[in-house]
Amino acid sequence: TVSVAPSTPARLQAPQATAPVFSTSAASVREWTARLLSHDPDVRTSAEAALADGAQRALPLLRRFLNPPNDDLSAANQDLQRVAFEILRRIGPPAIPLLVELLHDRRALTRARAADAFIDLAPETESIQPALRRALTDAYPKVAGDAARALGALGAKATPSVGALVKTLAHEDPDVRMYAAEALASIGPGAAGATADLMRALDDRVAGVRWAACEALAGIGPAASTAVPRLILALDDSSVYVRIFAASALGSIGPKASPALPALKEAAADPAVRSEAEWAVARIAGDEAEAPVTLRPLPAASEAPATAFTMADTGNPPLDWNVETGRNVVWSVDLGNETYGRPVVAGGVVYVGTDNALRLNPAYLETSGVLMAFGAAHGEFLWQDVSPRGRALPASLLPTTTGTPYVEGNRLYYITATCRLRSLDTQGFRDGQNDGPYLDEMFQDEDAADIVWELDICGRLGVFPHEATNSNVLPVGDLLIVSTSNGQNEGHTRVPAPRAPSLIAVDKDSGDVIWRAVGPGAQVLHGQWSSPVAIDVGGRTQVLSGGGDGVLRAYDAASGREIWWFDGNPPDAVFRPRPRVFSRGSIIADPVVAEGRVFIALGQDPTHGNGPSLIHAISPNGQGDVTGSRLLWTNRDVGRVVATPVARDGLLYVADLGGTVHCLDAATGAQIWTHETHEPIWGSLHLAGDRIYVGNLEGRMTVLRAGRHKELLAEIDMDAPLYSRPTVAGDAMYLATKNRLYLLKAEGQNEAGAHFR
């Protein structure tokens, strides 16, 4: 077993043969500017690494980049300032004094970028609270809001700032008011002096402020008992999250909230509030135990090998194409502005999640997620499903569909951008029928989707999704199993719905919830974006769920009972959401099963940048905590991983946020070879036949030969970033960029097709 002691891999340290010179002379500034803005990724990345490694010595030069002569706001200088701030984030705590200076800059965008950088630098920002308190009064709401978030990141250490945060509860911008309340929630009992002001915030016209005020009262706990009457009223609020978090606050207050017992018992009739209300009743009555639920004993697991229910693609997709000349491009169509969903092909139709930027339905112009259906052969638009926000939802939710649908016969199942699990008729309304029981579609023309049934995961189960509801749909018999994406609040200070499920199983025909599993609960570090995977272990189907706390959990597929769990983080690891440092990580990539082993890679939200991380191989034959007993090996040569790895023929291919592709020996974890793509790899890693297709944020598709000997087959420049992996169907490849969908096929294999430009 390889040691799991955190250390920075050599490739992330960017060692220099000689120490670079960071002179602020005009010639040096020009030279460094040219390197940082170079079109050559090798030059650009080496310059960024050198400045980040230079730390304090590089700060005077970075200050020059942030203050161009004569306030030159050319596009080049704006790019240079953006890159300079990214480097400051990589430098970390040594950059704090310069960032404090920038909080006073006359340019609002500069102040906002500085405030944003402080959010991820806690706890080293404890001493600069006076500067953050001044920033709470900034005229630019983005600065004030991020200053509140930065104080919230300090938790109880921000107690000296309670008074300033209380004043900020009256800010004219609702987001700033919400962040101030969430910061008070993270401070906890030390914010007891804010109780009266938080009670007034329960009357705010914006639902997000009201539910954040409930969070804060929950954080204060028994000392907030004077708020009990007002919290009882909040149990009838129009917003489901206000009702849920009001119940949570009453439970946190404990026995002093006994007048709320009748109202809580009545609130438990609401399915979304039930778990929180029942917990609150038990807490108030003194019957609630904080210990985890003990599961009924399960039969001993056999030592039979684990078998995954998914297989890699075969076929012969193209090795080269050109999106400018059209070589090997059968057709292409516009998508939205932000496409993270993977295309899926079934029954002669290709489906892909994106946003509503195209406004294909003139009657619906709102920003929202959509699922689009195109003819697979010619790319003609067939229909789309829209997911309007409707009631108040977390503002952080991306307005784009990010999950991958599952198609079975004439039914399609997917998670919408607003956290609803939907069953659709693959014919839409083109068959002239409205399949039920859902009959209230917003649109029922030939271009619209026909919803068969819908499960509102937030409204029914009290889930608070964070940033993206991007679970794939896993079919297991008559069940559909999905992650709910339950996560942290808007300010990233706490999990507001710790008793809401992280994983659910529903009946495929009706959408009824069969079982639910809480999973990480309050331990989610940020969000939860891994999709479940099914395996067979000794004749029993297990569902593997990668948690937002870095723990892999295995559940019995039929009952949802937890069988075993493996903690991927070292016990002393600390969450540090910034580049270059070892941090407690989440499981974002899906678990991978091959040859009797389960592989999990740890990562973080890709906006946090790359840093040293871990990947583990585990035996799935166990019960209870298998962290020590079932670990096969750990590799720490990888960076943070978001893209799901691929395993075949005794090898494991892993792509990280540093842009590096790793080939590992699946039996030992030893590194066999690496390949640099120079830009972050999010989710675009795919194995088809003997070819590995890797897309990065620069829009470059790299094709490598699978095997123990690295062979670069092709590098193809696309017209936009590549976020998701392609789908291969025989010799055809369906590839989505950030804003366009392509059908690619080598010449001689093409059938007559049309280009849609």
Q: Does residue 610 contact residue 556 with C-beta atoms inside 8 Å?
A: no
- SS3 of residue 600 by DSSP: strand
For residue 294, pLDDT over 60 is answered with no
41 — pLDDT class (breaks 50, 70, 90): confident
Question: Which are the contacts of 287, defined by CB distance < 8 A and separation ≥ 6?
Answer: none
β-sheet with 406-408: strand ranges across: 406-408, 411-415, 420-425, 450-456
**CA 671 to each of CA 2, 382, 593, 712, 752: distance values in angstroms, whole numbers, following the listed order:** 12, 46, 19, 18, 45
Per-residue pLDDT at 3: 41
Residue count (the chain): 757
Radius of gyration of the chain (CA): 26
Tell me, what's the pLDDT at 313? 64
Q: Any idea what DSSP says for residue 30?
A: H
Res. 300 pLDDT band, cuts 50 70 90: very low
**pLDDT 10s digits, 91-135:** 999 999 999 999 999 999 999 999 999 999 999 999 999 999 999
Average pLDDT, the chain: 91
Q: How confident is the model at residue 72, as a pLDDT?
A: 65
Half-sphere exposure of 615 (CA within 13 A, CB side): 35
Task: Quickly tell me which residue has 């102040």 as its tokens.
Answer: 111
Q: Residue 415's beta-bridge partner residues?
A: 421
What is the rounded CA–CA span in Å between residue 198 and residue 209? 10
Among the listed residues 592, 583, 650, 586, the one whose alpha carbon sits nearest the alpha carbon of residue 617: 592
Instruction: Give 442's contacts (C-beta < 8 A, 6+ positions apart).
Output: 364, 386, 388, 448
Beta strands in 395-477, from DSSP E residues, in sequence order:
406-408, 411-415, 420-425, 450-456, 474-476
The pLDDT of 463-469, averaged and rounded, is: 95
Average pLDDT over residues 309-329: 80
- Report the half-sphere exposure of 754 (CA within 13 A, side-chain side): 9
Higher pLDDT, 74 or 165: 165
**Cβ neighbour number for residue 370 with a 10 Å cutoff:** 27
DSSP assignment string, 172-194: SSHHHHHHHHHHHHHHGGGGGGG
What's the one-letter identity of residue 118? F
Q: Which two tokens stand for residue 376?
A: 């697979």
Which helix (H) or strand (E) covers residue 553, if one does? strand 551-556
Q: Are 94 and 55 in contact (CB under 8 A)?
A: yes
Q: Which residue has the tokens 């700032």?
A: 161
- 373 forms beta bridges with 351, 383
DSSP element (H, E) containing 53: helix 41-54
Report residue 235's pLDDT band, with 50, 70 and 90 as the boundaries.
very high
| CA pair distance 367, 376, nearest whole angstrom | 26
Instruction: Supply 647's token pair.
Output: 């395993």
Q: What is the dihedral of CA 163, 166, 168, 174, to 10 degrees?
A: 160
Query: At residue 203, does pLDDT exceed 50?
Result: yes
Strand ranges inside 294-348, DSSP E? 306-308, 329-334, 344-346
**pLDDT tens column, 617-651:** 999 999 999 999 999 999 999 999 999 999 999 99
Q: What is the DSSP string of 695-732?
A: E-TTSEEEEEE-SSS--EEEEEE-SS---B--EEETTE
Q: Tell me the helices (H) and strands (E) count for the chain, helix number first.
A: 18, 34
Average pLDDT over residues 141-168: 97
Sheet arrangement for strand 562-567: 306-308, 533-537, 540-546, 551-556, 562-567, 624-625
Which tens digits make up the pLDDT trace of 342-385? 999 999 999 999 999 999 999 999 999 999 999 999 999 999 99
Half-sphere exposure of 439 (CA within 13 A, CB side): 4
Residue 737 contacts residue 323 (beta carbons within 8 Å): no
Looking at residue 88, its pLDDT comes to 94
pLDDT at site 40? 84
pLDDT at 576: 92
Query: What would the pLDDT profile of 688-703 be if each residue is shown by its tens digit?
Result: 999 999 999 999 999 9
pTM of the model: 0.90
State in Å, rounded, how far the first CA of the chain is from the last one: 53
Q: What angle do CA 144, 174, 359 make, to 5 degrees?
A: 110
Instruction: Give pLDDT, residue 516.
Output: 96
Q: Which of 14-18, 463-467, 626-630 has the lowest mean pLDDT?
A: 14-18
Q: Are 507 and 487 in contact (CB under 8 A)?
A: no
From 182, 148, 142, select the one nearest 164 (Cα to Cα): 148
Instruction: Give the pLDDT band (50/70/90) at residue 748.
Output: low
Mean pLDDT is lowest, of 6-20, 393-407, 497-511, for 6-20
Q: How far is CA 73 from CA 64, 67, 142, 207, in A?
A: 14, 10, 20, 38
Q: What was the pLDDT predicted at 635?
A: 97
Bridge partners, residue 543, by sequence: 534, 555
What is the DSSP pairing of strand 562-567 with strand 624-625?
Answer: parallel
Q: Stretch 547-576: mean pLDDT, rounded?
A: 96
H helices of 195-260, in order, are 195-201, 207-220, 228-234, 240-253
